[in-house]
């Protein structure tokens, strides 16, 4: 579980190339170089609920539960493999949710300097199937991808 102030700083670091952002402080006279803390702003040690932070039109949650931690090359590998898979489906399937990114579950592993991306179809994410239902239980795709995002090979498996 990640507390919001850390996630805002992480998001800021990701968006601005690593230069920490500062927000103006209403209590300090330091020209805005003090990063405000919601706990300190409450003045109660963090026991009372605070007002939600709304920035850029988005209400930001107090706690975030990360899905996974992926480095940049892992994200590139996952994207490249997913794009390769989706491009291989017949065009007439484009409007069928079970052949879109929404229905795909992507896992990334690293071994020997390469990324291995496994993609499974999860049709229950389309809203028409019960959880765990899979019309083709043994269907999956596995790709070897370079850290630069180049798909090197598809695992030679035919369901």
* DSSP designation for 126: G
Q: Do residue 81 and residue 134 come from a single domain?
A: yes
Is residue 159, in this structure, part of any structural domain at all?
no
Is residue 119, in this structure, part of any structural domain at all?
yes
Q: Do residue 94 and residue 23 come from a single domain?
A: no
| Helical ranges in the chain per DSSP H | 4-15, 38-42, 72-88
Banded pLDDT at 159 (limits 50, 70, 90): low
> What is the pLDDT of the chain when averaged over all its residues?
73
Q: Do residue 56 and residue 79 come from a single domain?
A: no
Q: What average pLDDT does range 121-126 have in this prediction? A: 84
> Which two three-digit tokens encode residue 129?
């199937």
Which residues partner with 107 through β-bridges?
118
Is residue 121, in this structure, part of any structural domain at all?
yes
43-85 confidence digits (pLDDT tens)? 556 667 778 788 787 777 777 677 678 999 999 999 999 999 9
CA distance 62 to 51: 10
Q: Do residue 60 and residue 77 come from a single domain?
A: no
Q: Do residue 77 and residue 149 come from a single domain?
A: yes
pTM of the model: 0.58
Contact 40, 48 (CB under 8 A): no
Q: Do residue 40 and residue 108 come from a single domain?
A: no
Location of structure tokens 């765990």: 132
Q: Do residue 59 and residue 88 come from a single domain?
A: no
- Where in the sequence is the domain holding 145, given as residue range(s)? 72-154
Is residue 124, in this structure, part of any structural domain at all?
yes
Banded pLDDT at 137 (limits 50, 70, 90): low
């Amino acid at each position: 579980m990640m507390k919001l102030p850390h996630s805002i700083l992480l998001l800021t670091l990701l968006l601005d190339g690593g230069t920490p952002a500062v927000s103006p402080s209403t209590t300090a006279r330091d020209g805005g170089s003090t990063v405000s803390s919601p706990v300190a702003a409450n003045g109660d040690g963090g026991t009372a609920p605070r007002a939600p932070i709304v920035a850029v039109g988005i209400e930001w949650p107090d706690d975030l539960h990360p899905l996974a931690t992926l480095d940049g090359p892992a994200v590139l590998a996952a994207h490249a493999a997913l794009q390769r898979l989706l491009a291989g489906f017949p065009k007439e399937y484009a409007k069928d949710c079970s052949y879109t990114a929404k229905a795909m579950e992507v896992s990334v592993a690293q071994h020997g300097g390469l990324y291995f991306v496994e993609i499974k179809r999860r049709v229950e994410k389309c809203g028409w199937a019960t959880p765990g239902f899979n019309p083709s239980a043994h269907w999956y795709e596995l790709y070897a991808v370079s850290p630069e995002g180049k798909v090197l090979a598809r695992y030679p498996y035919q369901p």
